[in-house]
Amino acid sequence: MDQGKMDENEWGYHGEGNKSLVVAHAQRCVVLRFLKFPPNRKKASEEVFQHLQSIVDFGKNVMKEFLGENYVHCGEVVQLPLDFVKQLCLKIQSERPESRCDKDLDTLSGYALCLPNLARLQTYHFAEHRPILCVEIKPKCGFIPSSSAVTHEMKHKVCRYCMHQHLKVATGKWKQISKYCPLDLYSGNKQRMYFALKSLLQEAQNNLKIFKNGELIYGCKDARSPAVDWRELAHHLKPFFYPSNGLASGPHCARAVIRELVRVITRVLLSGSDKGRASALKLGPGSPGPCVCEASPFSRSLRHQGKSSLEHSGLPKGCLLYQTLQVQMLDLLDIEGLYPLYRRVERYLEEFPEQRKALQIDGPYDEAFYQKLLDLSTEDDGTVAFALTKVQQYRVAMTAKDCSIMIALSPCLQDASSDQRPVVPASRSRFAFSVSVLDLDLKPYESIPHQYRLDGKIVNYYSKAVRAKDAAAVSARFKESEDCTLVLHKV
């Protein structure tokens, strides 16, 4: 990329999250990822540069090690002409969802990350002429904590995502509770994975997006977004899955196309041979948590049918879901066990503030930082060193709980070689595919108190909601029995 000759007209809005905004090049397979800040909280150029560089270092030295070379794309920090950034910011403003406009794109530093556009296959320099379908999934936390520090019994039964749904709907973030449960997706059991993916397709929230040739065709910006339309989605997908057009239109067709998509995505998610070292992370002593979340509609319906034994096939080692889950499980103590250790580090830093650098709280995220993460002991010897290791592991685990997986699918021509990319078959077509992971920015040390408070809020709200639901069910049953008494009385 010639940073001297940048033209804002060659770039278009691609997407954004809470902390960064991404623009994509119209022809080349690259994106620029800019940081966002709340208005009036501008940062010095040097600080932005350091922050972006630390994202790259963390990706290279930690996440590539854990997740595997092929899944992680670290990109590089680039310096752009300020005029280009300002014009670009004006150009894309109208495309930004309102709910994200509480933060502004950083137009002052001139720094951004340049990354491959993962919504297209990883050819990096030039867009392929083949059509490309890309599915982005933000799977969230895939396990239930088994830590003995957990004080709310509910946390041993229901996963955080399912509990959090209730609070999100109550606060108006989303309109309705999703049937998606991360434990179903991470189960490795095909039936449960199909259910999880179908649930994401029904209620995408910010956990699912679909791009066609780099353009967003399916996804939900916020609670005001219109209801999802499967027929429209199927219309986009049909040429990929039924290239010879041998399928009538209508609801039956939409279902068939969606089924194909779900099957292909499941196969891709279960594939993979990239041996990241996460598979070498041997979990500490404690017992593993339950593999089923009591709030998942899939497991509930099986229980109602009396089929209590949920098959837990497990994920194949080497697939990205498995590697991600292992990293998530670096959160061995749960926030309830971690928070007192964070307080220990804090007290130490209050006394010896000059030690912050030596403790590598804000980096550098180098080989030494990575090596310390491999110590999985849970035996607290009362030292600051122990507390610090657990705090850093927690931050890495939280990062893996919030990352996204990008699956890019490109139809293979009949009998054509796929440039050595892996291929996944569908009923009527085949796809060359690539799997990548994005948003691997290490969660800040400062967010730990927020995590602690939020955890309490989520569990308390959920417990209250469940109690209210139970009370309503009891009162409905009581009402039924009263009606029944009346009838008996008459007779």
Ligand X SMILES: O=P(O)(O)O[C@@H]1[C@@H](OP(=O)(O)O)[C@H](OP(=O)(O)O)[C@H](O)[C@H](OP(=O)(O)O)[C@H]1OP(=O)(O)O
Ligand Y SMILES: Nc1ncnc2c1ncn2[C@@H]1O[C@H](COP(=O)(O)OP(=O)(O)OP(=O)(O)O)[C@@H](O)[C@H]1O
Q: Which of 63, 398, 403, 405 binds ligand X (CB under 6 A)?
A: 398
Give the pair of three-digit tokens for residue 58.
Answer: 């963390």
Contact 72, 275 (CB under 8 A): no
Does residue number 17 form part of the binding site for ligand Y (CB under 6 A)?
yes
Site for ligand Y in 25-64 (CB under 6 A): 31, 33
Closest to 359 (Cα-Cα) out of 369, 347, 344: 369
Does residue number 110 form part of the binding site for ligand Y (CB under 6 A)?
no
Q: Provide the 10 A C-beta neighbour count for residue 314.
A: 12
Query: How many positions of this chain bind ligand Y (CB under 6 A)?
Result: 21
Give the pair of three-digit tokens for residue 324.
Answer: 């991600």
DSSP sequence for 427-486: SS-EEEEEEEEE--PPPPGGGHHHHHHHHHHHHHHHHHHHHHHHHHHHHHHHHHHHHHHH
Distances (CA, A) of 463 to 148, 154, 301: 19, 7, 21
Rounded distance between C-alpha atoms, residue 303 and residue 470, angstroms: 18
Site for ligand Y in 298-357 (CB under 6 A): none
Whichever of 234 and 403 has its CB closer to ligand X, that residue is: 403
Does residue number 402 form part of the binding site for ligand X (CB under 6 A)?
yes
Write the DSSP symbol of residue 61.
Answer: I
Does residue number 20 form part of the binding site for ligand Y (CB under 6 A)?
yes
Closest to 157 (Cα-Cα) out of 292, 288, 332: 292
Rounded distance between C-alpha atoms, residue 98 and residue 102, angstroms: 8
Does residue number 10 form part of the binding site for ligand Y (CB under 6 A)?
no
Does residue number 212 form part of the binding site for ligand Y (CB under 6 A)?
no
- Inter-helix orientation angle 230-241/251-270, to 10°: 60
Give the pair of three-digit tokens for residue 74.
Answer: 């670290």
Write the DSSP symbol of residue 165.
Answer: H
Angle subtended at Cα 327 by Cα 370 and Cα 384, rounded to the nearest 5 degrees? 50
Residue 447 site contact among ligand Y, ligand X, none (CB < 5 to 8 Å, cut-off depends on kind) = ligand X
Q: Using CB under 6 A, which of the segments 12-20, 51-59, 123-131, 222-230 binds ligand Y?
A: 12-20
Q: Using CB under 6 A, which of the segments 11-19, 146-154, 167-175, 292-300 binds ligand Y?
A: 11-19
Rounded distance between C-alpha atoms, residue 73 and residue 490, angstroms: 75
Q: Using CB under 6 A, which of the segments 7-15, 16-24, 33-41, 476-484 binds ligand X?
A: 16-24
Q: Which of 176, 447, 475, 485 binds ligand X (CB under 6 A)?
A: 447
Map residues 189-218 to x or -, x wherever contact with ligand X holds by CB under 6 A: -----------------x------------
Contact 227, 295 (CB under 8 A): no
Residue 398 site contact among ligand X, ligand Y, none (CB < 5 to 8 Å, cut-off depends on kind) = ligand X
Rounded distance between C-alpha atoms, residue 33 and residue 105, angstroms: 10
Map residues 118-137 to x or -, x wherever contact with ligand Y holds by CB under 6 A: xx----------------x-
Rounded distance between C-alpha atoms, residue 345 and residue 391, angstroms: 9
Does residue number 209 form part of the binding site for ligand Y (CB under 6 A)?
yes
Whichever of 116 and 188 has its CB closer to ligand Y, that residue is: 116
Minimum distance of ligand Y from residue 64's CB (angstroms): 15
Residue 400 site contact among ligand Y, ligand X, none (CB < 5 to 8 Å, cut-off depends on kind) = none
Residue 182 site contact among ligand X, ligand Y, none (CB < 5 to 8 Å, cut-off depends on kind) = none
Does residue number 402 form part of the binding site for ligand Y (CB under 6 A)?
yes
Q: Using CB under 6 A, which of the segments 89-97, 257-265, 435-443, 483-491 binds ligand Y?
A: 435-443
Total residues found in the chain within this entry? 491
Does residue number 457 form part of the binding site for ligand X (CB under 6 A)?
no
Contact 293, 299 (CB under 8 A): yes
Whichever of 112 and 388 has its CB closer to ligand Y, that residue is: 112
Query: How many positions of this chain bind ligand X (CB under 6 A)?
Result: 8
Contact 330, 145 (CB under 8 A): no
Residues 6 or more apart whose CB falls under 8 angstroms from that of 72 comprise 59, 63, 64, 436, 437, 440
Map residues 348-387 to x or -, x wherever contact with ligand X holds by CB under 6 A: ----------------------------------------
Whichever of 222 and 311 has its CB closer to ligand X, that residue is: 222
Distances (CA, A) of 190 to 141, 211, 267, 273, 297: 19, 24, 9, 19, 16
Residue 166 site contact among ligand Y, ligand X, none (CB < 5 to 8 Å, cut-off depends on kind) = none
Residue 199 site contact among ligand X, ligand Y, none (CB < 5 to 8 Å, cut-off depends on kind) = none
Give the pair of three-digit tokens for residue 156.
Answer: 């041993």
Q: Which of 109, 147, 326, 404 binds ligand Y (CB under 6 A)?
A: 404
Q: Which of 438, 442, 458, 459 binds ligand Y (CB under 6 A)?
A: 438
- Which residues form the interface with ligand Y (CB under 6 A)? 14-20, 22, 31, 33, 115, 117-119, 136, 209, 402, 404, 438-439, 441
- Which residues form the interface with ligand X (CB under 6 A)? 17-19, 206, 398, 402, 443, 447
